[in-house]
Structure 1
Amino acid sequence: MKYLYGLVVALYFTSCVSDHAYKNNLYDSEYFHRSVKKLTDIMVYDIFSPPVASRTYVYPAVAAYEIMAQLDDGYSALAGQLNGLTPIPKIDTSSFEDPYLSAIEVYTILGQRLLFSEDKMEEFRSDLDKGWRKMGVPEQVIQASESYAQRVADHIFKWIDQDGYKQTRTMPKFSIQSDPGRWEPTPPDYMEGIEPHWDKIRTLVLDSAAQFIPLPPPVFDTIPGSAFYEQARDVYEAVNLEDEEFIAIASFWDCNPFVSHHKGHVMFGTKKISPGGHWMGIAGLAARQSGLSPMETIATYTLVSIGLFDAFINCWNEKYRSNLIRPETYINKYLDPMWRPVLQTPPFPEHTSGHSVISTTAAVLLTALFGPDYAFEDTVEMEYGLPARQFDSFIQASQEAAISRLYGGIHYMPAITEGVKQGEGVGNFIIQNLMFKK
């Protein structure tokens, strides 16, 4: 990747600010990495569902990207390309508005607005502010950059406010149908279906939530030998193998934001990263491994977050349209009432596999940025007690994420294979229709 960003920044500081030691230190991608990680950590604490997490990732990233892209001839603005997004206020470097400081500021402002635990992001923002001053950033640069970031945040929040999210908060809960082939809540908590109206959320690049409709699963049937019965048996047998590698893969890609544990009358929960959070983490690993500049780093996070956002909308459209019974429910009723999956079944319908859709989308986009043979060590889950895994490509990682749902006992194979196709459709459509780099 080639950039004119360094030249632009150099000219800015030469013309507007006398030489300061902070300049080289400020333009370190690690500040943005830290901001993304903080957003992830707070979402884990707040227990954001996977679809809602994707929304929380994308808007702050787009805002930061739009600020930085103004002064980089290698990137195109997303205004006019993403549905409903209009141009942000223009930066004025002659008034000491620094693009990178403003980008970090707008990311954390919007992140704070979209979180439940706003105080945790406010504390992080305060620490950043102290850091800029300790670094020697002139007060006029800090004040001007924060003021500009607030104007951009206000502009972006008006766009956010029109995406349909507020309206879905008042829509009715998902009603359980008596049809035996339809989804019903699963043990141990029998939670209601989450985000049944997520397909009403405005897409960013896709034409509609229903743009890539997968093939339907086999027709529901309980007769031994039928296609549906046999796909359930495949799940049953995969779990019963108790294969150590299968279990390791399932656990690594579990990414269930809240897993409940029941021991007698005692219940406690384990909080973990969401599927989208895992792939944002992979994006960060690749950006660090490749030594990307701040502009390149922000662009990477932004492209992946756009893909995750549209992929979740596309997948959720199918989930609640087909409204299919989960393997755990089917197997307990028709094969083995004592059987339990390796992973806790998430609280939403079966078809298609969300992890298969969003992982494939993210992998397609990361492959477009870094190439098809990009080897990396995935250390994202280590803080949750899981060992790192090595991959030769993003596609290989996404394939493992997809098949992990069979190994975990929470998806039939058609949900996985069709989910991969969905993810490919979403990822390739974004590549073909979003002018990202000039």
Structure 2
Amino acid sequence: MAVVVLGATLLIPATSVSAADPTDMVLEWNVNAINAIGNANGATPPGLGQAPPLSGLQLAIVHAAIYDAVNAIDGTHEPYLDPIHAPPGASEAAAAATAGHDVLVGLVPATLPQVTASLDTLYGISLGKIPDGQAKTDGIAVGAAAAAAMLANRVGDGRANTSRTFPIGTESGEWRPVPPLNANVFSWVGDVRPFALDRTSRLRTEGPPALDSAQYAIEFNEVKAIGAQTGSTRTAAQNELANFIVANPVVLTHRMFRELAVSKHLSTAEQARLFAMGTMSTADAFIACWDNKNFHHFWRPQTAIREAADDGNPATEPDAGWLSLFPTPGYPDSPSGYNCIAAAMMHSAIEFFGTDFVSFDLVGPTTRHYDRFTDYVRDAIDGRILTGFHFRHADVQAAWIGKKAAQWVAKHEFGAVG
């Protein structure tokens, strides 16, 4: 998924000004996680330089641990992993900070000590906001236990098996690397063990329409007209949407979740559950998405438009010089990775808040206001066609994957106790 990285910043809930436990520690460690995972090694603060989809998998590990740590103290919902004993009165803030810190440190390779040092400094700052005493000590112990359990659970989950690449096709409809990037990356994501889904192929889609079908011709001519780098029919508003939708959706949606947590006055336990639902839905949507990419192995619009003379469809015409608006990412078309995360995050929010009708802003290259979570999903579907990256079916089917992943997580994880 081609994205532009925008830095993460922290918003503090109005309720966080307190003589007792800070109530924004989940949000603080969401920012720290976004930066530590996504920032470049030499940035301030330094990070692992990981983009989606990998960053989405890592964030799920972080927030599942934070959830289990905070929920062990709060006790209102089912744990994700085995229950952790929490002494009465343990600090939820200390538990959240410790779980977030310890998981992130566990994800950092020994070759990047500057990232670990930065995380240690941030951890010290977080702990300095929590009153000393037994509650703080107990919270630290709970957070450490949750982090250790989560890291152990994800050992051997497939994230280390990164050598797999996509086969390079030669026949019409088969994916091959797309210039100018000519990349071939992330095929292995489809082999990662899911967090909640019972198997990677649970959300297998119907895939692309037949090359000689009328539907394929419709989608072909749509992206050819509006997704071109030059000579497109895009309007000014469509250009604005295309430039917005190419920004990193992990950063966009997590910032929005933090803003909602503030405006809705969510407690520490509610924040932990919101982010656990969102990140776990995203991770499983990514895994299902790349499982589908491996299965369907469908060519990108740029390849299809250049090679249209051989597709067997009389309603398509080739253009040997056609380029997508932005450089096409290095993996197959169907389904869209961006739409998998956009829909997963939005539908996890629908599951959490119990309604689609929530107003929010997404802040990227521009600020876009929405009154429904699914309004952003619709923009994401249209926007990725405008970038020239996808045929419409790839975006629509990806939105279905994200929705179903979020519904699966809501049904099978984080249930209320009693």
TM bracket, shorter-chain basis:
0.7 to 0.9
Q: Structure 2 CA distance, aligned partners of 1:301 and 1:398?
A: 19
Secondary structure in structure 1 of the residue aligned to 2:201:
coil
Give the AA of the match of 2:76: G
Q: 1:177: Cα distance to partner?
A: 2.3
Deviations 1:273-324 (A, max 9, x none): 3x33432222222112212111111111111011001111111111111100
Provide the residue aligned with 2:94 in structure 1. 101
CA contact (8 A) 1:29 1:297 kept: no
Give the AA of the match of 1:87: P
Q: 1:242: Cα distance to partner?
A: 2.8
Deviations 1:18-64 (A, max 9, x none): xxxx9935533333212211221231323313121111101111111
Provide the residue aligned with 1:12 in structure 2. none
CA contact (8 A) 2:273 2:414 kept: no
Determine which of 199, 220, 244 is the counterpart of 1:252.
244
Alpha-carbon distance change, 153 to 174 in structure 1, aligned in 2, over 3 angstroms: same
TM-score (norm 2): 0.83
Q: Structure 1 CA distance, aligned partners of 2:123 and 2:401?
A: 40
Provide the residue aligned with 2:175 in structure 1. 183
CA contact (8 A) 2:281 2:409 kept: yes
Determine which of 219, 225, 235 is the counterpart of 1:237.
225
Write out aligned runs for 1:3-402 (5 A): 24-25=18-19, 27-42=21-36, 43-45=38-40, 46-79=48-81, 86-88=82-84, 90-93=85-88, 97-115=90-108, 117=112, 119-130=114-125, 132-133=127-128, 135=129, 137-138=131-132, 145-166=139-160, 168-169=161-162, 171-192=163-184, 194-221=185-212, 226-239=214-227, 240-255=232-247, 273=248, 275-334=249-308, 335-370=318-353, 371-379=355-363, 381=364, 386-402=365-381
Q: 1:184: Cα distance to partner?
A: 1.0
Deviations 1:388-423 (A, max 9, x none): 110001111121112211111110011122222222
Alpha-carbon distance change, 289 to 307 in structure 1, aligned in 2, over 3 angstroms: same
TM-score (norm 1): 0.79
Q: 1:425: Cα distance to partner?
A: 2.1
Q: Structure 1 CA distance, aligned partners of 2:192 and 2:320?
A: 38
Give the AA of the match of 2:344: T
Alpha-carbon distance change, 203 to 417 in structure 1, aligned in 2, over 3 angstroms: same
CA contact (8 A) 1:27 1:294 kept: no
Q: Structure 1 CA distance, aligned partners of 2:153 and 2:175?
A: 34
Secondary structure in structure 2 of the residue aligned to 1:248:
helix
Alpha-carbon distance change, 218 to 279 in structure 1, aligned in 2, over 3 angstroms: same
Q: Structure 2 CA distance, aligned partners of 1:35 and 1:180?
A: 47
CA RMSD of aligned residues (A): 2.4
Q: Structure 1 CA distance, aligned partners of 2:126 and 2:219?
A: 56
Alpha-carbon distance change, 26 to 412 in structure 1, aligned in 2, over 3 angstroms: farther
Alpha-carbon distance change, 321 to 136 in structure 1, aligned in 2, over 3 angstroms: closer
Deviations 1:180-207 (A, max 9, x none): 3211111222111x22122221112212
CA contact (8 A) 1:280 1:305 kept: no
Secondary structure in structure 2 of the residue aligned to 1:377:
strand
Q: Structure 1 CA distance, aligned partners of 2:383 and 2:20?
A: 41
Choose 293-302 or 173-182, whichever is displaced more.
Answer: 173-182
Give the percent of matched residue pairs that are identical in Structure 1 and Structure 2.
17
> How many residues are aligned here?
378
CA contact (8 A) 1:406 1:413 kept: yes
CA contact (8 A) 1:68 1:295 kept: yes
Provide the residue aligned with 1:6 in structure 2. none
Q: Structure 1 CA distance, aligned partners of 2:20 and 2:321?
A: 58
Q: Structure 2 CA distance, aligned partners of 1:78 and 1:147?
A: 18
Q: Does residue 1:404 correspond to 2:400, yes or no?
A: no
Q: Structure 2 CA distance, aligned partners of 1:132 and 1:227?
A: 57
Give the AA of the match of 1:126: T
Alpha-carbon distance change, 435 to 172 in structure 1, aligned in 2, over 3 angstroms: closer
Secondary structure in structure 1 of the residue aligned to 2:196:
coil
Write out aligned runs for 1:417-436 (5 A): 417-436=396-415
Q: 1:147: Cα distance to partner?
A: 4.5
